[in-house]
Chain A
Amino acid sequence: MERKMLLSVLVLVTMLLAACAAPTPEVIEKEVVVEKEVPVTVEVKKEVVVEKVVTATPVPPKVAGTIRVGSWESGGALDPWDKAIKKFEAEYPAVTVQLEAVPDAYGDKLLTQFAAGDAPDIFMVGDGDVAKFVLKGAIELLDPYVTGDSPLDLDVFFPGVLGIGQLEGKTYLMTKDYSPLVLYYNKTLFDEAGVAYPEEGWTWDDFVATAQALTLDKDGDGQTDQWGIQLPDHWGDPLWWRGMSPFVFQNGGDILDAEGKTTTGYMNSPETVGAVEFYVSLFNEYKVAPTKADIEALAGVDLFQTSIVAMLWTGRWPLKDFIANPELNFATIGLPKGKVHANSICWAGFAMYSEGKNKDTAWEFLKHIAAGDGAQEFARHAFTPVKSIAELQGLTEDRFNAPIIKDLEYLHSLPCFRTIHFGECVEKNFKEALEKLLIEGGDAQAALDDAAAKADACLAEK
């Protein structure tokens, strides 16, 4: 009841505010005018400077006032925000930065703020929302700022991750942090079982053989006590598309065409079907990976740190905890190779709100957190997109991080960037087919044919 009422309230409030806002096309036109004015102002300023070299009047500071910043993080993850904001405010005393942390239902809140025309000046965006927010005009194009009076050299970033914030060659977002999928392995368990450590360039066959050798029923009660591999994450969701997608890409498959229009011939291609069959067989046939039910039974336990699984396939995020655990003797390695090398990336970025009121200040802060002193704070917690910071941290030399960085060269493009209906039409139907195969079994080709037909019908409706 309360939730329903809340929903209705949101709907009303947002609708009222939306009704007050000017129609979108007009807003876009106005923006274009403003963008053109910037170079003109620059030229005038230059003339003034030339004429009055000695008695130059100071340009009124554009970087002032209050800006709001939106983040979905909480707890310790807000630490870099606090430090970055403190540094910025020390550098620009005329600026106040308000951090709005919304750890629960961040996306819901952001959407209602867009509808109300009142989103934070700078906000975090997950990779899955980039296409939608950019195409619907919620995110400010950054190119005019990058080349404006307070420019930013984009060469300071790793090109691969910078590209995720770009759409059709235009830069819309700055990278906050990112991670490819990573394999962790427990050396102690490998040694105990007398299994060789995985090596760079290992194949699917090596992967299965290794996982089988490490799947054990130690007390002989007919139940597995140790699994070879937990995947595709450490919290136990076998349907996590991004996490399992490297299998599809490694087998030469995909689930959506390059234009984002059709899934038939992709989601049900022999390559994708083969990858899905392989993935399902890890749980149901080889039984080297704990199923969702197994993980539910072990709820609350970190299977990798407690040596219940020998390998873990997930992002870089638990690395810090693993290093901090003195009991754990582990290493990292790139994903195995199927027909080709492939990996996926999980990415978070910073965006500037297109209807913000203080964009010059927002840009200055964005530069600070994406490439400046602020970025150093974020680099302490996750992979930084800034080359110089990464070099300073020695990441490319580090024994845990080097294999992870190496795998970045095999990144496959993310299908969710190709259509804004990815979640509703493509991912949903794919996941339903995958869930059916995992729980009930059956013919992967038939299940994926059906999913592709449904996905195409959904995309055609749009």
Chain B
Amino acid sequence: MTAIARLRALRPLRMTLKARREAIIFYLCIAPWLIGFIVFTVGPMIASLGLSFTKWDMLSPPVAVGIKNYVTMFTKDPDFWQSLKVTAVYTVFSVPLRLLTALFLAMLLNEATRGVSIFRTVFYLPSIVASVAAAVLWAWIFNPRFGPINGALRLIGIKGPTWFSDPKWTLPALIIMSTWGVGGEMLIFLAGLKGIPKQLYEAAEIDGAGAPARFFKITIPMLSPTIFFNFVMSLIGSFQTFDSAWVISTARAGTPGSPMRSTLFYLIHLYRNAFGWQKMGYASALAWVLFLIILVVTLLTIRSSALWVYYEAERGE
């Protein structure tokens, strides 16, 4: 009898004794999550996919309309294109800015020798402030008359814009705002930085490499898996921006997405269709198109990672 055949003969017995018990315990342990995932995520997703082919006002039963919602979106809804544009512009500027801010803070913390835990807490703190509260706070920071930003601009002789009332400046203001709550990314970067072996820097220093060379030749490549992870997560989050833009545009009873649709993010467009105008079917279709957009962008990013992400474990292969 070969070893493999013997193993095969043993397997059913093992399964009944230990493996089965372990399997049961495994499923029991993940059951709360699994049930929640199926009931509150998979189920609604399937339902919303079904609803995306209907017209449903929540007051009367859904009516099937085929792919009409998807056709309308691409052919007859200028707000759809505007919301895509706003979301894309925001993403293009906000994601790199967020990553740079987070990396900068993480490197500061990595270099610090004293009070590290205090600074870590201080830098992380904004991330646990509720996004609505943060938006209200930033509305004050951007206040044209009393806010510190325009105050600082006045000191150097520049008359600051009216930020959230000026369609040209709302999106830049929101992008600046987005760099504030980067505590999560910062911590991940910090962990990544701590994982870079010290001897790499020592060796480079002996070879006469300056700080910029060490940063670009050691830190960035060694940190690339972390950058990749933070980039993907930031990207997904950025496509789903809602709270800050909602609070800013509807402050003092304004219209969502105002002024002049400059803050009409994709999710605001979706929400307005769903609950403002009771177009649940159309809103479901919008949700699925967003899902597909995020999926494609994420897959492209993952594809591109082979070109720029360096995994130490791959060296030997």
Q: Which residues of A contact B (CB under 8 A)?
A: 1, 3-5, 7-16, 18, 21, 23-24, 105, 107-108, 111-112, 114-115, 132-133, 136-138, 233, 235-237, 239-240, 291-293, 295-299, 421, 423-424, 431-432, 435-436, 439-440
Contact = CB atoms under 8 A, between A and B. Distances in A.
A235 B277 contact: no
A296 B59 contact: no
Contact of A4 (B51, B162, B287): B287
Contacts of A293: 144, 162, 165-166
Contacts of B276: 423-424
A171 B101 CA distance: 61
Mostly helix, strand, loop or mixed at chain A's interface? helix
Interface residues on B, range: 35 or more
Contacts of A299: 139-140, 143, 146, 252
Interface in B43-97: 43-45, 47-48, 50-51, 57-62
A14 B44 CA distance: 10
A137 B61 CA distance: 12
Contact of A435 (B166, B258, B267, B275): B258
A108 B273 CA distance: 12
B145 A298 contact: yes
Contacts of B258: 239, 435
A11 B62 contact: no
28 contacts: A4-B267, A5-B40, A7-B287, A8-B47, A8-B48, A9-B40, A9-B44, A11-B47, A12-B40, A12-B47, A105-B275, A107-B275, A111-B59, A112-B58, A114-B59, A136-B59, A138-B59, A239-B255, A239-B258, A292-B165, A293-B165, A295-B252, A296-B144, A297-B145, A299-B143, A299-B146, A421-B277, A436-B260
Nearest to B164: A296
Interface in B211-266: 236-237, 240, 242-243, 252-255, 258-261
Contact of B62 (A18, A137, A432): A18
Contact of A235 (B50, B253, B287): B253
B41 A8 contact: yes
A115 B281 CA distance: 13
A439 B259 contact: yes
Contacts of A138: 59
Given A137-B59, A240-B253, A296-B144, A4 B164 contact: no
Contacts of B260: 432, 435-436, 439-440
B44 A435 contact: no
Contacts of A13: 44
B278 interface: yes
B280 interface: yes
Nearest to B237: A1
A333 to B, nearest CB: 24
B143 A14 contact: no
A3 B162 contact: no
Contact of B44 (A8, A18, A132, A137): A8
What 6 A-B pairs come out closest when comparing CB atoms? A8-B44, A12-B44, A136-B59, A293-B165, A297-B145, A424-B277
Nearest to B142: A296
A140 B274 CA distance: 25
Contacts of B284: 11
B167 interface: yes
Contacts of A439: 167, 259-260
A133 B51 contact: no
B51 A11 contact: yes
Given A3-B267, A8-B45, A439-B167, A15 B139 contact: no
Identify the interface centre among A18, A21, A233, A299: most chain B CB within 10 Å of its CB.
Answer: A299
Contacts of B44: 5, 8-13
Contacts of A14: 58
B33 to A, nearest CB: 14
Nearest to A12: B44
Contacts of B280: 11
